[in-house]
Structure 1
């Protein structure tokens, strides 16, 4: 048996106040009855005992009405003082019957102790009551042993009954497998937290966690393995929770998390930290923040909607509900839901050979025209997508649109072009990313061997194990990898021989100075020699003038792109321009 180290979960402030108040009122009425039933009336009863009844009744009524506003420790202190007071009053009672009657009030105290206190403290209080009773009986020889035993049995029985009821009531809101709160317990706390948040203005967020492919674990290894996974999740996440947070098993393989004092952004960070704590267990998470006028069911509905979107786009990540996002994020989410009709599109920028300007490939660049507000720069909306959990959906749109448009361009021109697509670190870190990319290639009919995945040098410097593994997987399926913005970082050189890399894209800030700096031109020649030694293809970005193109051609740079050759344009415009040109030989 696990010793309970905290007060029962049903010992909420209102329950404690009302129960303690009722027991105090009943004890006061018993004291009044004792005074009225004593032979000789008030003259035979000490004034302290006479005052005990009315004072207790008044105190009990006050506690029932306003006691929920004070901390539970107040009631615990009151219980300790009350126990000692009962012993003192019993010792000075005028008759043996009065002693027994007063000691019997200890049964109320024992009941309250097992309701308000952790189990060890409750047993300590019970011991205190029995010691006080034994001392009083010893000092009052007119009290028979039989009567004392009856009182002791009454106190012990009341304590035992309340302890069992309190434990059963507390575990009714507890999940038997994991020891976490169950859905009933979560809903009770959620209801109270929602009312408190709406009253005080404190932020409140909730998250729903779904264990990815849990059914497959059960089917492959049996339900015992699934149960062990659920227990592992509970044990691993419990110590990582912030103060006041409540983690519950919502049902099946779904967990819920309540985060008082956390806005949506902080809640999303907590969700991500919990996911990262169990990298071998895939987890999808939907997060929502309580909005003005929301009910508890509204909050959980929005968290569930966010979870559904995560699972729809491949699982294995977290997403914040769009209703709590900034206006730009909400509009972006709506545009992603609408697809191409939502203002999102892909523009293609040609990649050419500097010697003759012949097009050999294209880079796909996402564009967005926001309804009623016009063009939005990728520098503005891509970071928002990453921050608000929309990068997976944005990446899925870009891959599909880019493959479709590249196929249209290749078929219209007869050119065996390659397609280059930018990928964020968040996408690469998604366990389902590779499967989605390969599925998109299969659906659109675009060949993997003519597809290049572009990653930034900063991502290469981070070199997370999952990201690098994803690049290896994609290369095994025929895709190639390019390091974008090469030359702006400081640590990628040491990793070029170990990372899965096929192309180096030289940053445009590097190219801009090759016509004005002889040292920069010599450095470019050295970088080209390095790329040749490592069997990598160099692509010079940001070529804007004929002079830059001439220098690149003179140095033998294999590939280039920039506004000199073409701006990023819709596929229809490129088709119209290139359709009349004969295919490259």
Structure 2
């Protein structure tokens, strides 16, 4: 093997990416030539992945230009998705892939803080490549946030929230942004829900699990029904609640059909983010949910809000309760807001005050901290 000669160039090439799913984004300096890449420990860049060959590829620096050459690897080297058969020039912002491990090539020059449009586009492209990995390998990490009874602050359930360790896909907003480009929002929603319930089997059996849908799923209720039946078979006795975004609640015909399926499967229904957009009180009468989750914009800062705003929220809570629906306050972060929400009549709550979303190993509470599960209000 050729010795790796340190470069004296004023321009420094970097590879930005993750060596494993469990570590944060890294910036690796290509500081010698040839710069070898492989699974072996003696490589310039050692990648601990079984898909990467022992000596996989090498990177050459030629007068501040970068070239990559595959060394007969099993699973290939790619530049912008095209397999390298001999060697290939690499430009700033290009995506360089060794088997399944992807990096973005960048330059550290005299203007390191200048983020170009080209680099923004490359980051999005890298996220899309990672999204394919997320979907095919179900590389999601379900997190669980406690839901508590307002009076005792005892946990009676958890909401499943999707997370990932992949670059550009760490939270649901980033995941669904990538999914929207590929028209895969419904498929992503199912994976997040399925993995959450599967992992959530480790939570004590009496605890409620709240899980989400995406509005795109309501367009094909047959597929959603099949997914829900699979979840019920996976955990036959688990109390479950399906959350529907409040904008979807305006689709009365679809909601009636969905409500019928949920009743058959003994799965509760919650309308999420109430007060944030299109939902009206009439939808609560036509297809009543079991839980109504008041949007945090109505709840946060309620302790210092005007008397008129407090009375408005109190009246909404009262009407909700009169319909046999459990009112739930979302986004509680301050003790003062908790106390006012209790006075306004909320039955239960969720927010950082009671616990942040955590993986199962850290989110499941000790038995002494868990209350009895709240009954599903009016499961029909």
TM interval, shorter chain, is 0.5 to 0.7
Q: 2:192 aligns with which of 373, 398, 401?
A: 398
Deviation at residue 500 of structure 1 after TM alignment: 4.3
2:345 paired with 1:345: no
Contact 2:168 / 2:174 at 8 angstroms: preserved in 1?
no
Q: Which residue of 1 aligns with 2:283?
A: 495
Q: Distance in 1 between matches of 2:282 and 2:231?
A: 33
Coordinate RMSD, CA, aligned: 2.4
Q: Which residue of 1 aligns with 2:121?
A: none
2:133 paired with 1:334: yes
Q: Distance in 2 between matches of 1:440 and 1:468?
A: 20
2:230 paired with 1:439: yes
User: Given the superposition, is the C-alpha separation of residues 292 and 581 from structure 1 closer, same or farther in structure 2, using an over 3 Å criterion?
Assistant: closer
SS in 2 for 1:368: coil
Greater share of residues in strand: 2
Alignment of 1:46-445 (within 5 A): 326-339=125-138, 342=139, 344-370=140-166, 373=167, 376-411=170-205, 416-430=206-220, 431-442=222-233, 444-445=234-235
Greater share of residues in helix: 1
Deviation at residue 376 of structure 1 after TM alignment: 2.5
The more displaced of 525-534 and 515-524 is 515-524
Contact 2:270 / 2:289 at 8 angstroms: preserved in 1?
yes
Q: Distance in 2 between matches of 1:446 and 1:432?
A: 19
2:267 paired with 1:509: no
Deviation at residue 434 of structure 1 after TM alignment: 0.5
User: Given the superposition, is the C-alpha separation of residues 467 and 524 from structure 1 closer, same or farther in structure 2, using an over 3 Å criterion?
Assistant: closer
1:261-315 CA-partner distances (Å, limit 9, x unpaired): xxxxxxxxxxxxxxxxxxxxxxxxxxxxxx999xxxxxxxxxxxxxxxxxxxxxx
Q: Distance in 1 between matches of 2:270 and 2:361?
A: 26
Q: Which residue of 2 aligns with 1:453?
A: 242
2:265 paired with 1:477: yes
Contact 1:429 / 1:467 at 8 angstroms: preserved in 2?
no
Q: TM-score, length-normalised on structure 1? A: 0.40
Any gaps of 5 or more consecutive residues in structure 1? 1-290, 294-324
Q: Distance in 2 between matches of 1:427 and 1:377?
A: 20
Q: Distance in 2 between matches of 1:397 and 1:510?
A: 31
Deviation at residue 497 of structure 1 after TM alignment: 0.8
1:169-207 CA-partner distances (Å, limit 9, x unpaired): xxxxxxxxxxxxxxxxxxxxxxxxxxxxxxxxxxxxxxx
Q: 1:522 aligns with which of 286, 290, 311?
A: 311
Q: Distance in 1 between matches of 2:186 and 2:278?
A: 28
Return structure 1 stretches of 4+ with deviation > 4 angstroms.
none
Q: Distance in 1 between matches of 2:335 and 2:280?
A: 30
Q: Which residue of 2 aligns with 1:167?
A: none
Deviation at residue 387 of structure 1 after TM alignment: 4.1
Work out which structure has the larger RCO, using CA pairs closer than 8 Å and 6 or more positions apart in sequence: 2
Contact 1:399 / 1:437 at 8 angstroms: preserved in 2?
no
Q: Distance in 1 between matches of 2:170 and 2:340?
A: 34
Q: Which residue of 1 aligns with 2:362?
A: 573
SS in 2 for 1:480: strand
1:501-538 CA-partner distances (Å, limit 9, x unpaired): 11110000110131112222211210111111111001
Q: Distance in 1 between matches of 2:231 and 2:248?
A: 23
User: Given the superposition, is the C-alpha separation of residues 446 and 347 from structure 1 closer, same or farther in structure 2, using an over 3 Å criterion?
Assistant: farther
Deviation at residue 363 of structure 1 after TM alignment: 0.5
